Chains A and B, each alone.
Chain A
Amino acid sequence: MTSYRPAAPGASEAARKPGNGDGISWSTLLIRMFIVVTPAQLFGAFAGTQIARTTARTADNLISNHLIALLMGVVAGLAVGLVFSPRAQRLKTYVVVCAAFAIGINGLLLLMTRVRARVATGLPPWSDYLPDLLVVTVLQTLIASGLWLLKDRLR
């Protein structure tokens, strides 16, 4: 079993500060999760909106009403699952952190959306986001967890 091992200086630092019991400190884990999840969700959203826009011009119906959330969750789950390699005994911790970041980053992006698009009319109410927020969280966590388990078996 191997764990995520950054470059030598980082590794030695993590080794000196065992926070989450997986070789890296809590702060490092949170920062890395932030660095990975945020652009991954944004990329998924970008791809989703592009597809939604294109299909809106040509198709009778959108491919899926939850297409954007679906892509956000998939891309972020793949990114987190590929970047991190937690030990089996720490998997639950990573899953919780992953889920928390899925919700947190998603909520942050939605908050920024509403602030930035304050001039726009017709923005949906917060409650309308909840199903998609669930989709993102579940997908991101499931895919990441699946990858972690797969990587663990391949070790």
Chain B
Amino acid sequence: MEYAAAMALASVMVIGLVTPGASSDFAGIVERAICKVKAAAGMGGCTGSQEPSPPNQPPFDPKPKKCKITEYSEKVNSEIKIAFIKIGENAGFVQTTYSDGTVTYTATDGAEIGVTGGFGTKLDIGKVERGVKVDFGAGVKFDYGSTWTFKDAAEAEAMREQLDEYLIEQEIIKRDPYYSIKFLWSDPKEPPKPPNQLVSTIETTVDAEGKVGLSLPFDSDPNASSGIPNVKLAEVGLKFGGSGKWTQITDTVTGSTTYTTGGEVFGQASGTVGPLAGQLKGVLGSSMAITRDKDNQITRVTLVTTREGKATSTINGGQKDLGGQVSDQESASVVTVTTASLEVTTPEQRALVNQWLAAQEADPTGYVSPQTYYPSTLVPGDEFQNLMYTNATVSNVEYNNVSDKQGFAAEVKLGVALGIDLSLETTDSQAVDATYLGVPGTDGTRPPVEFRECEAG
């Protein structure tokens, strides 16, 4: 009897030893078995196994997919976050919630979170450039600015809870090594998944291609030195890439890479500003983002500009407040952020975009005209502008009570550089008006459409 009991006990221990993770696998096996039985019985099976229905959307939906609605920062070690653990003092997330429900977490220094010294205090592009690591403790380190994307707030919360659980467990083990003995009957906590986005910076002026082993956002066209055919350049606009500094955002899920850089107003000093002087005078900041897929094909071009003044319907009409008329008391503290995003889907579009980019790089007079970053009207002869006019989604979001406009614009640029939207709203300022450009009309204009999802409240 005793021998039998001893053998049984030893058997249980051996089985437990050779089947690690059996408990978690078992649940999955049972779940799949139930699904099969339900399917066989005609009870619908399981939702996870059903094939998704094919999308049935119009070829061009002018409404932007999402815009940021809220944002707040939180240290990892708040609330339960383990008061006895000195984790998270120098680590945290900037959480951003978008109108389509998606949530992003961006790794940042917890020490800076909560500081309300104006814009740019939450994230620092300089730390990205220096390759700063954010240490969450227990060996969990991520690159500063790394971003996780979740389909909803619940999924984001689950990730944070997972991180907390993991950190708690690791801390208990550190304090009490025998705690790990619980892994005999339960699985260890796993650290959270790696971030979706990794951010780094490159310098195009120091042989970046050879240095970092990556293709530059602009593939130089050897035939483009004497001018680009079919590209009509405006006389004034924004010149991008002049600084040679680019931020590189790598999407670890899709394999795509987004290169972003800032722009400068071009043409004003030369006296060739002409009728577009107002728009450019009001530009506080601008960014361009080029996204390439894993095959290095351009898939998206995004132009973001921050301007003084109200978000009026079009560039060419009704724009008395657009263009930095700061003397107007009502618009003195108003800033408008315009985001134009072109999804490049066909080889023809890609060729046109490549030509346009080559012109930006190779031609000293190459720049982005206001009609390109806000394509509300059709400009005859400018094929890239026409492509933006017909295919780009364009949003215009107006913020009031912005006391530090330059800081605000800097934060917008930083957000583009990091692949997220940053704190455009504060306790004082908020989005008071938002529109997007509708489908092109027969009169050669795209009328603005109310975009209430992006407005505060």
Q: Do A and B bind each other?
A: yes
Q: Identify which of residues 108-155 in chain A touch chain B, using a CB-to-CB cut-off of 8 Å.
A: 108-110, 112-124, 128-129, 132
Which one, A31, A56, A64, A67, contacts B84 given CB within 8 A? A56
Expressed in whole angstroms, the Cα–Cα distance for A35 and B13 within the complex equals 12
B1: interface (CB < 8 Å): yes
In the assembled complex, B39 has its CB within 8 A of some CB on chain A: no
A39 interface contact, C-beta 8 A: yes
A79 on the interface (CB 8 Å rule)?
no
Checking A52, A113, A117 against B172 with a beta-carbon cut-off of 8 angstroms, the contacting residue is: A52
> Size band of the A side of the interface?
35 or more
Output the residue of A28, A38, A113, A122 with the most chain B CB within 10 A: A122
- How many Å from the CB of B142 to the closest CB on chain A? 15
**Interface contact A39-B9, CB-CB below 8 Å:** yes
Whether B180 lies near A117 (C-beta < 8 A) is yes
Given the complex, which residues of A lie within 8 Å of B139, measured CB to CB?
Answer: 121-122
B171: nearest residue on chain A (CB-CB)?
Answer: A56
Give the chain A neighbours of B60 by CB distance below 8 A: none
Which residues of chain A come closer than 8 Å to B170, judged between CB atoms? 121-122
B183 and A117 contacting across the interface, CB-CB below 8 Å: yes
CA distance in complex: A66, B358 (Å) = 67
- How far, in Å, is B175 (CB) from chain A's closest CB? 5
Please tell me if the beta carbons of B172 and A42 are within 8 angstroms of each other in the complex. no
* Residue with the greatest number of chain A CB neighbours at <10 A, chosen from B80, B170, B184: B184
- What is the CB-to-nearest-CB distance from B79 to chain A, in angstroms, rounded to a whole number? 10
Interface string of A51-90 (1 = CB under 8 A from B): 0110011011110111111001000000000000000000
Chain B: minimal CB distance from A153 (Å)? 28
- B131 located at the interface, meaning its Cβ lies under 8 Å from any Cβ of chain A in the complex: no
Whether A112 lies near B184 (C-beta < 8 A) is yes
The dominant DSSP class at the A interface is helix
Contacts A28-B2, A59-B84, A120-B188; is A52 near B179 (CB within 8 Å)? yes
Q: How far is the CA of A128 from the CA of B296 in the complex (A)?
A: 50
**A122–B168 alpha-carbon span in the complex (Å):** 12
Cβ proximity bits B147-180 to A, threshold 8 Å, 1 near / 0 not: 0000000000000000000001011111111111
> B20 to A62, Cβ gap below 8 A?
no
> What is the minimal beta-carbon distance from B171 to any residue of chain A, in angstroms?
8
- The answer to the question of A10 belonging to the interface, with a C-beta cut-off of 8 Å to chain B, is yes
CA distance A62 to B365 in the complex (A): 67
> Is A48 close to B, CB under 8 A?
yes
- Asked if A65 and B175 sit within 8 Å, CB to CB, the answer is yes
CB distance from A128 to the nearest CB of B (A): 4
Distance between A68 CB and nearest chain B CB, rounded to angstroms = 4
- The answer to whether A49 touches B177, judged by C-beta atoms less than 8 angstroms apart, is no
| Min C-beta distance of B235 to chain A, whole Å | 59
User: Can you pick out 15 interface pairs between chain A and chain B where the beta carbons lie within 8 Å of each other?
Assistant: A10-B2, A34-B6, A34-B10, A35-B2, A38-B9, A45-B178, A56-B82, A61-B84, A109-B184, A113-B181, A116-B16, A117-B180, A120-B180, A122-B174, A124-B174
- Ranked nearest first, the 9 interchain pairs of A and B with the lowest CB-CB distance are A120-B188, A117-B183, A68-B178, A124-B177, A49-B182, A128-B177, A116-B20, A31-B6, A45-B181
